[in-house]
Structure 1
Amino acid sequence: FNSYLNMNLRETHGYTYGARSGINDSKYSSMFRAGASVRNAVTDSAVIETIKEITRIRTEKVDEETLKNVKAGYVGKFVLALEKPQTIANYALNIKTKGLPSDFYKTYLQKINAVTVDDIQRVAQKYFNVDNARIIVVGKALDVLPNLEKLGYKINYFDIEANPTKKPEMSKPIPDGVTIKTVIDNFVDAIGGKDKIATVTSIVKKSEASMQGRILNMEMKLKAPNSNSMNLTMGGMSLNKTIFNGSKGYTVAQGQTIPLEGDDLEFAKKGSAPFEELALVTTGRLVGIENVNGNDCYVVSTGKDGKTKMFFDVETGFKTKIVAVQEGPGGKEMTQIFEFSDYKEVNGIKFYHTMKMTMGPMNFEFKTKDIKFNEGVSDSDFE
């Protein structure tokens, strides 16, 4: 946890939940790897900071206290591993297959403790040459490529199967005649039509996901003209609850109640329930066409500063994705991604029945279990 890389990318900059590095062992060759999952918007910055930390190992001597602590970690892991019978077998196998000295593990601790500050720098200068590094970035080209191109590195492109390919098309122009209104009208037609959805005054939607072998339940309630609630529970205990009654709202999480305020509150007031997409005609902006899972989608920006994006399939009209950027603890931006699929008809209206939700390192796939129209909702649900 206290590595140079993790302290930089996680603790100092808040780019990731965790950065890792290490050297694999091999009879023929070894490779140093370092990596992290970061937000698209800071990919270039994470690359710069990673290279900076590798260079730091070469140019700066580690302090004695840090080296002492790292040695203690190696010693502790080595001693604990010896308690497992399979460890002894693995060590014997390594000696035979990798051509190690017969006393390699007998003198392991002695060799660890003999390492000096000068040894660390000498080896780093010999092997950690950033000019020989290969930087692999996996992400959405539209978000990560513009800033990566500014770093001055030669960039090669590969498809999902690692075959060389050309630079991806960043964004397609919006055809003449296509507006935010036509996009939303197509969505309305796709899910059932204006007349059909006009009959819906409330919706109750229940979904389930699995988390570490336990069931995560989500219940959403939507009521015209603009009230909504969401309650996330596990084993009957509420983990996160959000309420908005059309004029004010709040979130309850980890025992704390956080009111909806400022620009977020004003934006929420412009919303529309039970079908939030209808409000985009006045609150959204059509910004382009992007590829989502192999399909072209119209991109509509909305929310505070236009940082939230909704994606509507060009061919089917369905909403397929939302990328929401919000301000997290300490003012750091947090990105949430929602992907929608498996649209099925319920009482003449098509709803997505699978929602994949990504928040940092956490991924959930919610499956819809029940949808009800015009029942089971009252004003008290939004108090």
Structure 2
Amino acid sequence: MNFKSLLYLVIALLGTTAIQAQDEDFRKKAPEGGPPPRIEFGEYQQFKLDNGLEVIVVENHKLPKVTFQLLVDVPPTAEGDKVGMASMAGEMLSRGTANRTKNEIDETVDFMGASLSTSSGGAYATALSKHKETLIELMADAVLNPSFPEAEFEKLLQQRLSALALQTSDPSYISSTVSDVLTFGEDHPYGEIETRETLENIKLEDLKEYYNENFKPNISYLAFIGDINADEARALAETYFGKWEKGNVARAFYPRPKAPDATQVALINKDGATQSILNITYPVNLKPGTDDAIVANVLNTILGGGLLSSRLNQNIREDKGYSYGVRSTLQYDKIIGYFAAGGNVRNEVTDSAVVEMLGELEKLRTEAVPEQELNSVKSFIFGSFARSTERPETVARFALNIARYKLPKDYYATYLERVQAVTQADLTAAAQKYLLPGQAYVVVVGNAGEVAEPLERVAPVIMYDNQGRPLDKAGLSVPEGLKAMDVIAQYIEALGGREKLESVEDMSMTMGATIQGMALTMKMKQKATGKMAMTVEMNGSVVNETRYDGERAMVSAMGQKQILEGEDADAFKSQAMIHPELAYDKKGYELKLTGAEKVDGEPAYKIEIISPDGSKSTEYFSIESGLKLKTVTTQDGPQGSVTITNRFSDYREVEGMMVPFQTESEGMAPVPLTMKVEEVNINTGLEDDFFKVDKE
């Protein structure tokens, strides 16, 4: 035997074993975080005009493009019963000046291929650099010489009212609105909400007054970004903004909002909703530029600030499957910051999602973040921060922040070094200070009938309306012994009585509405034998036609015709019934009186109904008049389930029978519709041939 060869073999085997052991040890231990990348910021120059206007110049000549950004740092001010005034004043700046009409402004912008916008906080414009002087002159004209034309004010007001009507039925908008009111308080500038009433209170003079009192150069910052040098920027600033007169701007002070003493659920009912929108929120006293702001950013990134691997996402999305994604925000502000965390979850797991999210907040307060997780998050912050600094707009934003918040000149240059210095102990201390699972508003917009009771096991539930006001339950008691069919009987009597309704053999109705400036007309014909026909016209052209003969249905839309039979046609049975309530006492209907709520301020009984075909709806009947005020149904659509809400008002007598002459519908079309009755005809002898559906 060759002992020398055997020795070599033993040594080789021992070496291999040692290497494998080292590999295993290496895999068990997380690599240490490397040093933060050294960020070399793009150069910027800064100077001040005699009137106090701060000017920042960020040169970047890679593209022949220039951007101008004017920031007017108006102190937060409560608008009271005229919420919306400041934002409207800002929009009006570019709708006419002493030198140009709105059309002339728009034509000039279009000719340059530029963009120009104004707001309550200043103006923004961008174009090719060859147009820079024309653009800055145009922007300065809008900011310094607005004419506030009456016609444009009326037009803008109607646009805002229309937009608000669309937003107020959107669950995400409702969640945001109620969250702001609860977090900051309705009397704080951050907690005020825009309503139809506040918009209608605004006069043109209010906008002028806001502008005159707040648009001053000595609280403003003008940034030049892109293909322009400092000398050019100084000349343009002096020429077009140098004569802007400075002045004093009033600053109001408001009590600092505080988190609630104990966690509470703020529930806003959304009948028919199949999922809930959650938002856990409360105010935090977190100021920009502080050491806490940097630690808070790291903490929030770990919790739910943008990473798919964040704790909230890993728990709620990956592990439990409650949601497609959840996020959190820990936002600083020089007045008052806030915390928010939430997402969309299914009804049946709403309470469980809240428990899990609050649990994640508590875990960060009581358990140290593992070193590997901390290093991973730091690396993510290093990378995203470094990439952001490649854009000249980021450099300008950092320069503006340094000026606005009086930050050290090297604040952003050393930012990553301070991120690197954040320790596990720092995170625990910040979590105990800023993550408050026991003092939060849990705002839930969802189906109260399905989620309210389970949520009571999480925290006390308080019902709110869409504007963040606790619901007034006065007059909402249900008399003992009252049943659903008793309410239906009152409704039938309020319409004219069973005998009158049963005498109706056919009914024709024409309704009109306006949608995005176009005239919409709907003509509905129904026969007591279970037949119906409907046409929808847009600007006089038929866009939809539906007929149902009691067995088959025909639907024609966008040039496509479809014949439905059997179960596919059963959905039209209820539409063909003139007064379906007459059949509610028949076999196959299930009715449940679930309580009383207010519908647009009017107390109403709430009844949940399951039809013979299995479809579900919720109907509301006035306690005082007995008339139907609202229906809510959920239907399957191409994009998933759709909730349709109809509100009925303006009841009028037609041949001894009460008919609602106005129907406000949400969910049926991309925008809310207000349908008004133009003509009603009863018992005109409609022939069956009118409803005939030919076989294909």
Query: Same fold by TM (over 0.5)?
Result: yes
Q: Indicate how the Cα distance of structure 1 residues 150 and 230 shifts in structure 2: closer, same or farther if over 3 A, else same.
A: farther
2:619 to 300, 310, 315: 310
CA distance in 2, matches of 1:261, 1:74: 63
What displacement does 1:56 show?
9.3
Gaps of at least 5 residues in structure 2 are: 1-305
Query: Given that residues 222 and 229 in structure 1 are in contact (C-alpha distance below 8 angstroms), is that contact kept between their aligned partners in structure 2?
Result: yes
For the residue of structure 1 that corresponds to 2:441, the secondary structure is coil
SS at match of 1:145: helix
1:22 corresponds to 2:329: yes
Normalised TM-score (structure 1): 0.66
1:245 match: 549
The amino acid across from 1:149 in the alignment is E
1:222 equivalenced with 2:525 (yes/no)? yes
Within a 5 Å distance, the mapping from 1:203-214 to structure 2 comes to 203-208=508-513, 210=515, 213-214=516-517
Letter paired with 2:330: I
1:189 maps to 493
Bigger mean CA offset, 370-379 vs 306-315: 370-379
Amino acid at match of 2:525: L
Q: Is the 8 A contact 1:312 1:321 kept in 2?
A: yes
User: Does 2:677 correspond to 1:372?
Assistant: no
Per-residue deviation, 1:318? 1.0
Q: Distance in 2 between matches of 1:126 and 1:305?
A: 52
| Higher alpha-carbon Rg | 2
CA distances 1:344-364 after superposition (whole Å, capped 9, x unpaired): 345554332333334499661
- Contact 1:342 / 1:354 at 8 angstroms: preserved in 2? yes
- Partner AA of 1:95 in structure 2: I
- CA distance in structure 2 between the partners assigned to 1:247 and 1:42 by the alignment: 40
Which range is displaced more, 185-194 or 237-246? 237-246
Q: Which amino acid aligns with 1:146?
A: E
Hey, what does 1:79 align to over in structure 2? 391
Partner of 2:281: none
Residue identity in the other structure for 1:337: T
Structure 2 length-normalised TM:
0.41
- Shift in Å, 1:148: 0.2
Instruction: Quote the Cα distance in structure 1 between the aligned partners of 2:653 and 2:694.
Output: 27
| Structure 1 spans left out of the alignment, 5+ residues | none
Structure 1 residues 229 and 102, CA gap change in structure 2 (3 angstroms): farther
Is structure 2 residue 587 aligned with structure 1 residue 275? no
Select between 367-376 and 53-62 the one with higher mean Cα deviation. 53-62
Please state how far the C-alpha of 1:316 moved relative to its aligned partner.
0.8
Kept in 1, the 8 Å contact 2:361–2:437? The answer is no
The change in CA–CA distance for 1:79 and 1:37 in structure 2 (over 3 A counts) is same
Please give the per-residue CA displacement for 1:232-259, whole angstroms capped at 9, x wherever unaligned: 6767788877654322447678979695
1:325-364 to 2 correspondences below 5 Å: 325-327=634-636, 334-346=642-654, 348-359=656-667, 364=672
User: Structure 1 residues 37 and 204 mapped into 2: Cα distance closer, same or farther (>3 Å)?
Assistant: farther
Q: SS at 1:221's partner residue?
A: strand
Does residue 131 (structure 1) correspond to residue 437 (structure 2)? The answer is yes
Amino acid at match of 1:279: A
Distance 1:265 1:381, change over 3 A: closer
Q: State the distance in 1 between where 2:668 and 2:355 align.
A: 21
Aligned residue pairs total 363
Q: Is the 8 A contact 1:285 1:301 kept in 2?
A: yes
1:244-294 per-position Cα deviation (integer Å, ceiling 9, x unaligned) = 4322447678979695765x8657546752223323232342434321324
Residues 294-309 of structure 1: pairs in structure 2 closer than 5 A: 294-303=602-611, 304-305=613-614, 307-309=616-618
Partner of 1:33: 340
Where do 1:123-162 residues align within 5 Å? 123=427, 126-127=430-431, 129=435, 131-132=437-438, 134-138=440-444, 141-151=448-458, 153=459, 155=460, 157=462
Question: Which string of whole-angstrom CA distances, capped at 9 and with x for unpartnered residues, describes residues 99-147 of structure 1?
Answer: 3223446x4xx8479968x989975884373635513335575443201
Q: 1:181-228 CA deviation, whole Å, 9 max, x = no partner? A: x43343233234456543450323324254xx4548362523112234
Pair 141,300 (structure 1): closer, same or farther in 2 beyond 3 Å: closer
Q: CA RMSD in A?
A: 5.4
Cα-to-partner distance string for 1:297-322 (whole Å, 9 max, x where unaligned): 15252235573222222221111122
In the alignment, the residues of structure 2 paired with residue 199 and residue 328 of structure 1 have an alpha-carbon distance, to the nearest angstrom, of: 33
- Alignment partners' CA distance in 2, 1:352 and 1:204: 11
Output aligned runs, 1:159-174, within 5 Å: 172-173=477-478
TM-superposed CA distance for 1:295, in Å, is: 0.2
Distance 1:98 1:65, change over 3 A: closer
Contact map agreement 1:222 1:274 (CA 8 A) in 2: no
Aligned residue type for 2:524: K
Q: How far does residue 342 in structure 1 lie from its aligned partner after superposition?
A: 2.9
Give the secondary structure class of the aligned counterpart of 1:338.
strand
Counterpart amino acid of residue 245 in structure 1: D
Please say if residues 243 and 251 of structure 1, whose CA atoms lie closer than 8 Å, have aligned partners that are also in contact: yes
**SS, match of residue 407 in structure 2:** coil
Alignment counterpart, residue 597 of structure 2, candidates 283, 291, 298:
291
Relative to 1, partners in 2 of residues 1:361 and 1:121: Cα closer, same or farther, differing over 3 Å?
farther
Distance 1:360 1:276, change over 3 A: closer
- For the 8 Å contact 1:208–1:217, the answer to whether it is kept is yes
CA contact (8 A) 1:26 1:98 kept: no
The answer (yes or no) to whether the contact 2:533–2:691 under 8 Å persists in 1 is no
SS at match of 2:585: helix
Residue identity (%): 20
